[in-house]
Every structure is written in C-alpha cells, then in structure tokens.
C-alpha cells in the first residue's frame, strides 16, 4: 500500500517530473488550440525525442500534452468558432455565442474549471475501476458498436438547429465523405474517382478545418463592418455556486465521457457529442436556450472529452490495448522503452499504473492553473479587427492541415470543403451534423459488416443478435425509446391509447 502511495505521488514530489508535466500541459494547450496540430502527432514526435530519456520523464511529458491538448481545442472553439480538435466541435455551439455576447472570459473560465472536474472524475474512475471497466469494454461486440453508431446518428436532432431536413442531409453528406477510400474488407477503391491520393480516404480533421475554419472565415466577410463586442474580463473564474449548480450535470457527462473513452472503438469526439445531446435532453431550463450561449452546452462536452482521457488509459494500462489514437502511440513508446504493455503490465510494473494515475491528476491541477491565467489576453482575440483576424485564420488553417500528414493534396481538399461549407452556411445548413456523419459513417460501415460476417451474413440472425444479448438489448431499447420520443410516433401512440 505504501508503495502504491509513493508511486502515486512520484510526479508530485520530483521537481523534474513536476516541471515536465507542467511544460507538457502548457505546450498541449497551444497544440490543441491550433486546428490540425494534434496530440497524436505531438506525442509521436516526442517518442524519437525522448528515446534516451528515463521512461517516467517521457511519460510525464506525454501525459501533460495529452491533458492540455484535449482541453486546448475548446479555446479556439469559443473565441473564433473554430474547434481546435474534433472533440471540441460541440463546445463551439454555445461557447462562440457566449463570446459574441462579450462573455468569452467567463466561457473560458467555466470550460477550464469543468474540464478539470471532468478530468479528475476520469482519473478517479481509472484508479478505482480500471480492471472492471476494461472487462466491460471488452463485452462490446461489433453489433454493439453498430448500435452505438445508430444511436449517434440520432443525435442529428440535437445538432441540426432549426431545420431537421437539412440536418439529415448534412449527416448523409458527412457519412459519404467518411466512406471515401479503400474498402477495409476487399481492399478495393471506393468513391476515389481513380485517384491514388484518395485511397487513404479524407481525414476528418481536414473536413473539420475546412468546414469550421475556412468556411467561418469566409462567412465573417459578410459582417466586416460589425464592431466586435467589448469583452467583459472582470468575472473570469466562475463563482462556487455556479460550479455547484452544474455539478450534477458534469458528473453525468463525465461518466458518459469515461465509458465512451474506455471503449477501444470510440473516443473523446464521440463522447462529447453524446454528452452535448444528453445535456440538451435532460436540462429543461438552461441559462439561455441551447445554441445561443447556454452554459450547460459548454459544460457537457468539456467535462466529457476530458473525462475520456482517463477512460482511454483504462484498456491501455490493464490490457495493453489502446483506448484511442493517443494511447496507441503511448503504447508504442512503452515498447520502445523496453516495457511490455499487456495484461502483465499492472502485475509486473504496477508503478507505471499508479504513476500515470497520479500524473494525470497532477496534469489536471496544472490545467486549472494555466487555463485560468492569461484569459484576459485571450479574450481580446475576439476584439481584434476582422481585417487582421481573417487572414490569420486562413494561414493557420493551411498550416494546420499541411502539418497533419505533410500532404499538399489535403490542403486543397480543406480549401474545397471551406468553399462548400461557406455555401452550406449561406443556405442555413449546420456544420455539426456533417462532422457527425464523417465520424460515424466509417464506424457504422465497419461495425455493420463485422456484425454481419460474424453471423455468417444471415440477416435474420443479425437482427436476432441485436436483442438476444443483454448489452445489445439495452442499446436497442435506448434507440427505440429515443426514436419514440423524437418522432410523431409518440404522439400518435399516445393518441391511440387515449381513444381506447
């Protein structure tokens, strides 16, 4: 026990590790804030860089970057309506309207505190239940991922804004974009128009930067003359009663985040979408309507995506299986450092587990410190004249896209999606459902085909499997209830019932 305790506090007591964690968090916030610069990329560069280092030092830096990076995506989402990472897409829905009302400082302050709460809940779940949660995650069969993807598609009703028809069209468009590339099963090109460059598909971050970054920059040209709102910078740190008011919601969305994060097939991006939807369904009286600057719409995704970090470490530390792309790279780092990530990791090198838990908690404390400092200066970004800001955004979009895979072709695609996104915006389409489609399309395709081939391509057996297994039955029931609640079917059924 005393060993566990000393491992837990290792990062807190060693000045070197403390410094590296702090450095990682700070760097992560900025890496996360720039669309295209991803945590996955930063961590894989660090592998070569930290090759000769002690493993603990390397891990401390990576943990810091991971925690800071997931949070950093919210900065640009709030200030510029440009999410720095896919997991911050929903943060922009209510964060940007808040900034437009002069509450950018408050929004960043609140998102920081809530990210830390989400992050710490994620760490607590990791520390307390990791082996059990990992076993639960393994229970998810391909058919369950299929059901999760279906459930995800139903989020369209929360993300579409005023026109559901436009929302459904956007999801379908997104899913089609997501299917471009080599077919996973047959290795045949799909929707590539014979282009070799398209064999690898269109990276969803490319779509995201185009639709949110470039399209937003173009759209801003419509109101060049509009004087930016003067930002209120006096009340940045949210008062305690506000934090307490949102605590029940943040606990619920953190649980969503940590569970979705622990599933090896899903991560923080899907978690934040589910959390936003959950907030919209359960909070009856938000501070202002959702989509117009509701604090609840900010709290939900920010707690969920940071809680997903703790979740992603669950299968990694207990089984040696990655929970997401970042933990996949960290597993690689462990291998290169001569450790054996696998089910024996916790038994043979328990200090890695407890060190990571303690380090994650520490990184969240640093997140609170760094997140709450410098907000005044950041809020001023909203006040920068458009003539300076728009060109800057465009440059950042190009740099961010190129740095993704050092591929010029992706920059052209990104610009193309920017122009498409601009026209879609002009005609009242929302960008959120397109990203939803891009993320869920491939998951739906993959899991459906896996589930079908598992039962020998027999449709009847496939449908039976969706209700014959306890876990699948729960998911199927949830889908049925959501469908009932969201369609005229409910009114019709209730009507019939009353007539009888």
Phi-psi label, residue 194: left if phi above 0, alpha if psi -120 to 50, beta otherwise: left
Name the minimum Å distance from CB 349 to other proteins. 12
Binding flag, residue 438, other proteins (CB under 8 A): no
Q: Do residues 53 and 87 lie in contact, with contact meaning Cβ atoms separated by under 8 Å?
A: no
**How many DSSP H helices and E strands does the chain contain?**
24, 2
Name the minimum Å distance from CB 45 to other proteins. 8
Binding flag, residue 268, other proteins (CB under 8 A): no
For residue 199, what is the DSSP state?
G
Please select the residue that binds other proteins; options are 184, 419, 426, 484, rule is CB under 8 A: 184
* Distances 474 to 74, 140, 145, 172, 467 between C-alpha atoms, Å: 33, 12, 13, 26, 8
Please select the residue that binds other proteins; options are 97, 264, 267, 432, rule is CB under 8 A: 264
Instruction: Quickly list DSSP for 470-481.
Output: HHHHHHHHHHHH
Residue closer to other proteins, measured from CB, 138 or 365: 138
Name the minimum Å distance from CB 338 to other proteins. 6
* Binding pattern for the stretch 1-40 against other proteins, x by CB under 8 A and - elsewhere: ---------------------------------------x
Binders of other proteins in range 108-167 (CB under 8 A): 138-142
Q: 204: which residues sit within 8 A by CB, 6+ positions away?
A: 86, 178, 435, 438, 439
How big, in percent rounded to 5, are the helix, strand and coil portions of the chain?
75, 0, 20
Name the minimum Å distance from CB 200 to other proteins. 2
Residue closer to other proteins, measured from CB, 40 or 170: 40
478 burial type by CB count under 10 A (0-12 exposed, 13-18 middle, 19+ buried): middle
CA 491 to chain CA centroid, Å, is 34
* Binding pattern for the stretch 219-248 against other proteins, x by CB under 8 A and - elsewhere: ------------------------------
d(CA 210, CA 5): 47
d(CA 267, CA 257): 8
Name the minimum Å distance from CB 28 to other proteins. 17
d(CA 424, CA 431): 8
d(CA 360, CA 351): 14
Residue closer to other proteins, measured from CB, 264 or 301: 264
Q: Do residues 440 and 173 lie in contact, with contact meaning Cβ atoms separated by under 8 Å?
A: no
Binding flag, residue 193, other proteins (CB under 8 A): no
Name the minimum Å distance from CB 264 to other proteins. 5
Binding flag, residue 350, other proteins (CB under 8 A): no
Please select the residue that binds other proteins; options are 154, 243, 335, 399, rule is CB under 8 A: 335
Binders of other proteins in range 66-105 (CB under 8 A): none
Binding flag, residue 325, other proteins (CB under 8 A): yes
Rg from Cα positions in the chain: 22
Residue closer to other proteins, measured from CB, 335 or 368: 335
Residue closer to other proteins, measured from CB, 186 or 241: 186
- Find residue 182's DSSP bridge partners: 189
Number of residues that bind other proteins (CB under 8 A): 60
Q: 218: which residues sit within 8 A by CB, 6+ positions away?
A: 418, 419, 422
Please select the residue that binds other proteins; options are 344, 473, 484, 489, rule is CB under 8 A: 344
Positions in the binding site for other proteins (CB under 8 A): 40-41, 43-44, 47-49, 51-52, 138-142, 181-188, 196-197, 199-201, 264-265, 315, 319-322, 325, 328-332, 335-336, 338, 340-345, 347, 405-407, 446, 449-450, 453-454, 456-457
């Amino acid at each position: 026990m005393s060993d566990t305790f000393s491992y837990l506090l290792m990062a807190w007591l060693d000045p070197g590790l403390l410094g590296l964690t702090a450095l990682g968090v700070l760097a992560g916030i900025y890496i996360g804030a720039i669309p295209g610069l991803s945590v996955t990329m930063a961590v894989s560069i660090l592998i070569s860089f930290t090759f000769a280092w002690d493993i603990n030092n390397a891990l401390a830096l990576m943990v810091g970057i991971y925690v800071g990076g997931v949070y950093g995506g919210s900065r640009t989402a709030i200030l510029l309506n440009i999410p720095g990472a896919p997991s911050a897409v929903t943060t922009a829905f209510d964060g940007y309207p808040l900034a437009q009302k002069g509450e950018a400082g408050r929004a960043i302050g609140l998102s920081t505190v809530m990210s830390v709460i989400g992050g710490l809940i994620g760490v607590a779940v990791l520390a307390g239940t990791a082996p059990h949660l990992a076993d639960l995650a393994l229970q998810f069969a391909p058919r369950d991922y299929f059901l999760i993807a279906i459930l995800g598609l139903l989020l369209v009703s929360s993300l579409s804004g005023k026109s559901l028809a436009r929302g459904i069209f956007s999801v379908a468009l997104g899913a089609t974009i997501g299917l471009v590339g080599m077919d996973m099963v047959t290795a045949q090109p799909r929707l590539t128009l014979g282009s070799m460059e398209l064999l690898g598909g269109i990276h969803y971050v490319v779509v995201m930067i185009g639709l949110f970054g470039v399209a937003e920059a173009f759209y801003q040209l419509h109101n060049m003359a509009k004087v930016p709102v003067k930002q209120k910078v006096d009340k940045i740190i949210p008062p305690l009663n506000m934090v307490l008011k949102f605590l029940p919601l943040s606990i619920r969305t953190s649980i969503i985040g940590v569970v979705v994060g622990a599933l090896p097939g899903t991560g923080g991006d899907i978690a934040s979408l589910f959390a936003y939807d959950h907030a919209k369904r359960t909070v009856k009286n938000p501070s202002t309507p959702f989509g117009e600057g509701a604090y609840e719409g900010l709290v939900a995704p920010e707690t969920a995506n940071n809680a997903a970090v703790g979740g992603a470490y669950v299968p990694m530390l207990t089984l040696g299986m990655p929970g997401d792309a970042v933990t996949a790279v960290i597993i690689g780092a462990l291998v290169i450092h001569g450790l054996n990530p696998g089910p024996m990791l916790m038994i043979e090198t328990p200090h890695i587990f407890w060190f990571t838990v303690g380090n994650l908690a520490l990184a969240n404390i640093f997140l609170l410190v760094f997140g709450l400092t410098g907000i005044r200066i950041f809020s001023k970004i909203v006040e920068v004249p458009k003539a300076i800001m728009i060109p800057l955004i465009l440059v950042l979009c190009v740099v961010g896209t190129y740095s993704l895979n050092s591929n010029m072709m992706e920059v052209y695609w990104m610009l193309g999606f920017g122009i498409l996104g601009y026209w879609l915006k002009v005609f009242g389409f929302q960008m959120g459902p397109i990203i939803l489609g891009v993320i869920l399309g491939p998951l739906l395709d993959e899991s459906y085909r896996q589930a079908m081939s598992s039962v020998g391509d027999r449709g009847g057996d496939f449908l039976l499997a969706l209700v014959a297994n306890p876990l699948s039955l729960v998911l199927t029931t949830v889908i049925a209830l959501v469908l009932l609640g969201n369609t005229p079917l409910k009114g019709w059924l209730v009507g019939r019932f009353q007539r009888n």
